[in-house]
Amino acid sequence: MSRTFNLADLFEGVARAVPERTALVAGERRLTYRELDERATRFACHLSGMRVGRGDRVGILARNRAEWKESELACFKLRAVPVNLDHRCREEHLTHVLRDSGCTALVGEAGLLERVPWFTNTIAYGPPYERAVALPRSLPEPEERSGDDHYLIYTAGTTGRPKGVLWRQEDVFFAAMGSFVSEPVTSAEQVAENAAAGAGLRTLVCAPLAQAAGQWLSWTCHTTGGTLILWTGHGFDPRAVVRLAEAERAQVMLLTGDAMARPLLAALRPGEPAGLMAVVTGAAAMSAEVKAGLLAAVPSLAAIVDALAAAESGLTCQALGTAEPGPAAAATGADSEGLAGRAVGGGFGLADGAAVLADGFELAAPGEEGVLGRTGRVARGYWNGADFPHDGQGRRWAVQGDLARVEADGSVTLLGRAANVIRTGGGKVRAEEVEAVVRAHPAVYDTVVVGGSGDRVTAVVAPLAPLSLEDLAAHCAGRLAAHQVPRALRLVSEIHRSPAGQPDYTWARSVAEA
């Protein structure tokens, strides 16, 4: 029987093809594909006994751990829908997601489940969970799964409450999970064949599985027969991450922008981590100077893949930064702030179906600015909300609010989020463009730029050394237009970021107004 691109079917096909290959490393636990598949099946049987079935939503509230993947797989095996709950979110957001999604069951860490005591249909990881997966059990012959089965991912809620984004599983596989695979597949059977034919990459995911970037690259790894290595620490410890990468011979590492990459770069020692071939950054941007620093510091590192994706559209565009000299590679160090929105080595290339939209659904011309959108394999719409709009040709579009400009060579330059544009008397100021310049000051560790009182451009800075507004303005003069230069400076001990590593602009505005 020819299978569809259903996530449970895809994983089971790979597990049959490479049963004894290591599928997962999470803390002290190591599981082969056969073991991971069997444990997920046993937990699916337990969920079925709790009356969880097709279309039911099951929340997962945990840090990165083996049981997270087992629970997710168990849901898909039942044609149920796992719901990502980020333990770092405020309790009001957790409550909102549980109620908005209509979860019928909740699994996770006992200490975290205590944050939502009103939800009673729960299973705690540890002894209760292990008893559920202890006995060999097989699912009854399931109703035939489908590529139309639901996949639901909640956004991080950086601009408001988290929103559920509803996908067909086949669409999210091609738009987000299979996006980094160089050879496109034409059948579900080919996924398993390719996994058996190759060795698979050893991929270290430092991002949380409760966020899209972590989930999607984990599926890229497992549908290509790779070994998924999870960072399971309760906080990001750069030295421990480097040791883990060394011990597990990681070839690919997923980070969330500068929030992880900058401390990792500072923690590196000569020659490590050996064997690392690629760094993928998702969920948040990585600055040009950090990209250049990583490429220079890690001898085996061949590329940095800067992937811009959104829960609504999957991968929209990406840039490949390499150590090869190129028009942008020379602009590192003192001039690296001029690379705002670009990876070392070039601009961003659009994914299939992606475009820069200037007006409505009209495509932007070279030199013109607009917002990024994608059509084709995109999400259907928001859970409990309207479907995404269609153009005059009946094509559905997901528009994610990122500003971009089309270049003459067809590449795009990212200009930041539309929501972060500051309007001053001199014109519009893109916060991300100013941040790139401010971050290049030697006394600046991290920064967020917002509009302060009277729409003054205000830099909120976590400094490395003493810093004055006069010093910062002198650094920015000549690198930015006069109306873009910060007119106010607020020094803080740490820049607040979302669970996905994105700057918390709401917090920064409150600091600017203080």
Write the CA distances from 98 to 69, 125, 229, 253, integer angstroms: 19, 19, 28, 31
Q: Are 423 and 454 in contact (CB under 8 A)?
A: no
SS3 343: strand
CA R_g for the chain: 23
pTM (two decimals): 0.88
Position 328 scores a pLDDT of 33
- Is the Cβ–Cβ distance between 304 and 279 less than 8 Å? yes
pLDDT per residue as tens, the chain (514 positions): 456 899 999 999 999 999 999 999 999 999 999 999 999 999 999 999 999 999 999 999 999 999 999 999 999 999 999 999 998 888 888 999 999 999 999 999 999 999 999 999 999 999 999 999 998 888 877 678 999 999 999 987 666 688 999 999 999 999 999 755 556 788 889 999 999 998 899 999 999 999 999 999 999 999 999 999 999 998 899 999 999 999 999 999 999 888 889 899 999 999 899 999 999 987 677 888 888 899 999 999 998 988 888 899 998 888 777 765 433 333 223 233 322 333 333 478 888 899 999 988 899 999 998 999 999 999 999 999 889 999 989 999 999 788 888 888 888 888 888 888 888 877 889 888 899 899 889 999 889 999 877 778 999 999 999 999 999 999 999 899 999 999 999 999 999 887 667 788 888 999 998 8
Which two structure tokens, joined as six digits, stand for 406? Answer: 């089309």
| CA 369/CA 415 separation, integer angstroms | 9
Domains and CATH numbers, the chain: 425-513 (3.30.300.30)
Scanning the structure block, which residue is given the tokens 């309207």?
386
Q: Where are the beta strands (DSSP E) in 15-121?
A: 22-26, 29-32, 57-61, 81-85, 105-108
Q: Are 463 and 489 spatial neighbours (Cβ–Cβ below 8 Å)?
A: no
What pLDDT score was predicted for residue 342?
36
Q: What is the 3-state secondary structure (H, E, C) of 155-197?
A: CCCCCCCCCEEEEEHHHHHHHHHCCCCCCCCCCHHHHHHHHHH
Asked if 444 and 464 count as a contact pair (C-beta separation under 8 A), the reply is yes
What count of residues does the chain have? 514
Specify the long-range contacts of residues 418-426, CB closer than 8 Å, at least 24 apart.
418/371, 419/159, 419/505, 420/450, 420/505, 422/449, 422/450, 422/451, 422/455, 422/457, 423/451, 423/455, 424/451, 424/455, 424/456, 424/457, 424/483, 425/455, 425/483, 426/481, 426/482, 426/483, 426/484
Are residues 188 and 13 in contact, defined by beta-carbon separation less than 8 angstroms?
A: yes
CA end-to-end span of the chain = 64
Q: What is the pLDDT of residue 331?
A: 29
The DSSP code for 484 is G
Which class for 442: exposed (0-12), middle (13-18), buried (19 or more C-beta within 10 A)? exposed
